[in-house]
Structure 1
Amino acid sequence: MNDPTTWEFNALGTSWGVALGRSVPDDLKSAITAELDRIDLMWSRFRDDSTVAEMATTTGRFPIPSSDQPVIDLHRTLYEVTGGMVTPMVGQTLDDAGYDSTYSLRPAEVIAAVPLWDDVLAGWQGELDVVRPVLIDIGATGKGFAVDRVAQLVREHGFDEFLVDGSGDIRSGDHPHRIGLEHPTDPTKAIGTVVIENNAICASAGNRRAWADWHHIVDPRSGGPTREVLATWAIAEDTMTADGLATALFFTSPQKLLSHFDFDYVVVRANGTVEHSHARELELFL
């Protein structure tokens, strides 16, 4: 976003932009900062004082803020729909692979296997009942959830026309915005554009967080990175859902996901094929 009235800042380990078409008020900035700090303290696996860090070392019951319950609910739905392929239990695997709190990017000799959900959590409604210490990673939906929380604060402060960009997880208010779809192997190019208005778009690609022979999208069956899909985009009513579906498309066909969710999509596969729906004003340069 190059609008001079865009507030640009860093949070949750990445870059953000909030555009209102005018300067962002200080009280809104404060509210956004406080909410993102709260989310980070609850869910970050990159800090040793987070609730997630505590769950990685001890069992017990950990309350889930009511505002955050949808994150776990969506993760569970995606877990079931994808046959366990989209799971928040990948944290230790990613940590061992080098995507850790210090961003060492050096894989360990032994990489932890991804545990089954029901082997580590006895319950997840209102609280996480941890029966075996587990390093949770909500990366499949977490940033999208945070974008939605920011968008909610923007509306609560009286702004209906806005664009919230959490490092590529984007939600639009009551005004259309044309979004470019970054080429999965050349970030200087786009493979197309799409218009969003009162909805959201999220992308996922193995080239964005890649190191050694790894990237951040792990196949729980092999304990290694996925290989068959290069990049995905999902367009949905809210950013959290779009974020989760962008990850799910690495493992599950769009048709199967469409039986559970209402969304549009673009999938670029490693064999060069492209599969897409017919979203509003979706233009692909193929």
Structure 2
Amino acid sequence: MSVWGFEAIGTRWEIETETPLGDAERKRVNAVIEVFDRTWSRFRADSLVSSLARDDGEVRGAADAVPMLDAYRELSDATRGAVNPLVGESLSALGYDPGISLVAGEPRPAPADWTSILTWSDMSLSAASPAQIDVGALGKGRLVDLVLAELVDSPGNATVDAGGDIAVRGDEVRVGLEHPFDPTKAIGVVSIRDQALCASAINRRAWGDGLHHVLDARTGAPVRTWAATWAIAPDAMHADAVATALFFDGGPELAARWGVEWVRMSTTGRAERSIGCPAVLFTTPGVRR
């Protein structure tokens, strides 16, 4: 197997294929990532979503608006508003702003009426008032899916790993579930084949005194009950979305509707998993039916 590693969208990527990717294939992958980043990154002043944070109106070329924001609507409904794509302003208020100042102010709830502020269709996204969109709840998973799809001409097995959000085509891949309080350890392992595994944890993108990137949009404050989540789905976007939803009430129910298996670990060290989850845990978990 050949491994191509690189940095993009603020994380480490590794793409493993049976034969090395040529220059043309690598250029196509880089182009997919660049288009997505130029559309959805709130850390780029030239992105489409950054333009909507400055001014209301409509932007064209917002590919993936329909699959992602439709999924956000389901996430929001399932978690009673805890997951919300307008949480960008809440993250900025705590210092995770486009400049990554890490200077925290007071928590700021995201607009609860986000579905009346944003409208979307194929290649089009509109905001009724300036709005700071952040698609972090599922955006990296969506991009992993797009990159794997771009490898359609690369024969055989392929694995795309973007900072721990993984999509596998073909043979089984065994993945450790990193302990959120000690990255040198794992709380378990799981094998996936033609599936995706996405994780989220409060020890990643953390700063200040107990601040991290997983916020409850209703309060603008970081979550405190769950420390880490893992979700297994046919595609990475839905796995990523459920990994976010599992920090809140309603997440397991959404996972069941979407057919996603999962594990989560509380901040007190208690593990819980879905009844059909194939992961082998190194602790005795509770089972969520």
Q: Which interval holds the TM-score relative to the shorter structure?
A: over 0.9
Matched, 1:138 2:135: yes
The TM-score with structure 2 as length reference comes to 0.92
Corresponding residue of 1:202: 198
Moved more, 219-228 or 59-68: 59-68
Structure 1, 15-24 or 48-57: larger mean CA deviation: 15-24
Match of 1:169 among 130, 150, 165: 165
Letter in structure 2 aligned against 1:201 = L
Q: Mean alpha-carbon deviation: is it higher for 162-171 or for 249-258?
A: 249-258
Q: Which residue does 2:286 correspond to in 1?
A: none
> In the alignment, which residue of structure 2 is the partner of 1:219?
216
CA shift for structure 1 position 281: 4.4
The alignment's TM-score, normalised by the length of structure 1, stands at: 0.93
Match of 1:63 among 60, 63, 68: 60
1:182 pairs, out of 178, 201, 204, with 178
Deviation at 1:59, TM superposition (A): 1.0
Q: Which moved more, 1:249-258 or 1:7-16?
A: 249-258
Given the alignment of the two structures, is residue 239 of structure 1 paired with residue 236 of structure 2, yes or no? Answer: yes
Q: Structure 2: which amino acid aligns with 1:184? A: P
The match for 1:95 is 92
Aligned residues: CA RMSD: 1.6
Give the 3 Å change call, closer, same or farther, for CA 140–62 of structure 1 in structure 2.
same
Aligned partners of 2:38 and 2:48 also within 8 Å: yes
1:83 aligns with 2:80: yes
Cα pair 1:195 1:280 within 8 Å, conserved: no
2:110 maps to 114
Q: CA deviation at 1:14?
A: 1.1
1:176, 1:63 → 2: CA distance?
A: 39
| Residues 91/24 of structure 1: CA separation in 2 closer, same or farther (3 Å cut) | same
How far apart, in 1, do the equivalents of 2:115 and 2:72 lie? 13
Query: Which residue identity does 2:23 align to in structure 1?
Result: D
Cα contact 1:119–1:132 (8 A) shared by 2: no
Counterpart AA for 2:47: S
The aligned residue for residue 36 of structure 1 is: 33
Identity %: 40
Runs of 4+ in 1 over 6 A off after TM superposition: none
Conserved 8 A contact 1:194-1:279: no
8 Å contact from structure 2 (residues 78, 250) kept in 1 = no
* Contact 2:225/2:247 (<8 A) preserved: yes
Is structure 2 residue 269 aligned with structure 1 residue 272?
yes
How many correspondences in the alignment?
280
Alpha-carbon spacing, 1:88–1:160, altered in 2? closer, same or farther (3 Å)? farther
Unaligned runs of 5+ in 2: 284-289
> Residue 98 of structure 2: SS of its match in structure 1?
coil
Indicate the residue corresponding to 2:45 in structure 1. Answer: 48
Displacement, 1:179? 0.4
1:111 CA drift (Å): 4.1
Following the alignment from structure 1 to structure 2, what is the Cα–Cα distance between the partners of residues 84 and 16?
A: 31
Flag structure 1 segments of 5+ consecutive residues without an equivalent: none
CA contact (8 A) 2:246 2:252 kept: no
